[in-house]
């Protein structure tokens, strides 16, 4: 306490000057509109600069996180490329590792609904970019849906969160397959139906695309079994599947074109016609 008193005594002249100075500034600002406007302008400039800096910092860290994701994905693709070069090709269970008959188009999501019963996604690629109806759409994590409409510069996707959506899917560790549908209850849970009772199913099993159509290659990841329901008198499981993709937070997607689709569909049509 004594030191504090000595401090004020030693610096009394300076402290008195500082108090009088701030009182003078306050009186000038309050009584003179020009000085007041300058003061307000300076305050706005300072606060605006602070907000701008804060925004830049937030953006910077957001970009840093986004860049980290890109680096991780590029690393994974690089490893897969090395596997292809060396001939050590693993089963195509990663969405980005597909046979050569498939061509990719990248796109950005410009609109996405997930709270309706029939949800669709809009992307910034269209017919001018080579997109066509019935092309599969995925991310690096798993499937998203199927292209259902195309304009010159844009396309819409029938989301897997759509009651009209039915996609061939199977258990990763067996060839038992069924149809992937959605009961509208949750945006992160879909259902896999028609898996036969004889199949061995456990919670946590991975579900992938079945490859029984020309839309999706076999083995693209979908999700994991959250719940397996099998009644005593039922012949088929009802499986709840937790999606790998966050369907409420889509940004970048890949569209898959099957270069053999037309040939396969034509051949199957001829076979069907021959049997009639």
16 inside domain: no
Of the ranges 34-43, 78-87, 126-135, 265-274, which is most confident? Answer: 126-135
Domain that holds residue 98: 92-259
Rounded Cα distance, 83 and 97, in Å: 10
Mean pLDDT across 114-132: 95
128 inside domain: yes
Q: What values do phi and psi take at 156, rounded to 5?
A: -110, 150
Rounded Cα distance, 43 and 6, in Å: 36
The position carrying tokens 């994590």 is: 141
76 inside domain: no
Confidence of residue 140 (pLDDT cuts 50, 70, 90): confident
Q: What values do phi and psi take at 238, rounded to 5?
A: -110, 110
197 inside domain: yes
53 inside domain: no
Mean pLDDT lowest for which of 31-40, 166-175, 177-186, 190-199? 31-40
CB 205 within 8 A of CB 172: yes
Nearest to 220 by CA among 194, 250, 255: 255
Sign of the Cα pseudo-torsion (48, 54, 59, 64, in order): positive
CB 141 within 8 A of CB 221: yes
pLDDT score at 237: 93
pLDDT score at 161: 98
30 inside domain: no
pLDDT score at 72: 55
pLDDT score at 169: 97
Rounded Cα distance, 161 and 117, in Å: 7
Which of residues 30 and 184 earns the better pLDDT score?
A: 184
**CATH code of 196's domain:** 2.40.10.340
Q: What's the pLDDT tens digit per position in 36-45?
A: 444 444 444 4
CA angle in degrees (0–180, nearest 5) for 275-164-112: 135
61 inside domain: no
122 inside domain: yes
Report the number of distinct structural domains present in the chain. Answer: 1
Q: What's the pLDDT tens digit per position in 210-264?
A: 999 999 999 999 999 999 998 888 899 999 999 999 999 999 899 999 999 889 8
pLDDT score at 57: 55
Rounded Cα distance, 107 and 150, in Å: 13
Rounded Cα distance, 263 and 259, in Å: 9
Whether the pLDDT of residue 159 is over 60: the answer is: yes
Continuous H helices in the chain = 2-10, 12-31, 33-86, 261-274
């Amino acid at each position: 306490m004594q030191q504090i008193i000595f401090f004020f005594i030693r610096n009394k002249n300076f402290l008195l000057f500082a108090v009088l100075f701030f009182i003078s500034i306050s009186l000038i600002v309050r009584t003179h509109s020009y000085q007041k406007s300058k003061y307000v302008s300076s305050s706005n400039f300072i606060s605006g600069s602070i907000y701008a800096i804060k925004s830049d910092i937030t953006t910077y860290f957001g970009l840093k996180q986004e860049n980290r994701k890109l680096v991780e994905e590029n690393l994974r693709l690089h490893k897969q490329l090395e596997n292809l070069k060396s001939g050590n090709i693993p089963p195509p269970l990663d969405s980005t590792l597909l046979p050569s008959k498939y061509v990719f188009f990248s796109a950005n999501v410009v609109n996405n609904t997930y709270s309706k019963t029939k949800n669709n996604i809009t992307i910034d690629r269209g017919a001018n970019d080579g997109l066509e109806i019935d092309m599969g759409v995925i991310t690096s994590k798993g499937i998203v849906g199927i292209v259902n409409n195309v304009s010159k510069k844009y396309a819409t996707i029938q989301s897997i969160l759509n009651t009209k959506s039915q996609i061939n899917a199977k258990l990763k560790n067996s060839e038992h397959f069924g149809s992937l549908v959605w009961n509208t209850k949750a945006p992160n849970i879909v259902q896999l139906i028609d898996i036969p009772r004889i199949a061995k199913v456990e919670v946590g099993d991975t579900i992938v695309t079945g490859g029984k159509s020309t839309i999706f290659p076999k083995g693209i990841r979908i999700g994991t079994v959250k719940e397996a329901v099998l009644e005593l008198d039922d012949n088929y499981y009802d499986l709840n599947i937790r999606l790998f993709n966050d369907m409420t937070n889509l940004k970048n997607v890949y569209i898959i074109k099957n270069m053999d689709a037309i040939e396969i569909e034509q051949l199957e049509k001829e076979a069907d016609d021959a049997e009639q």
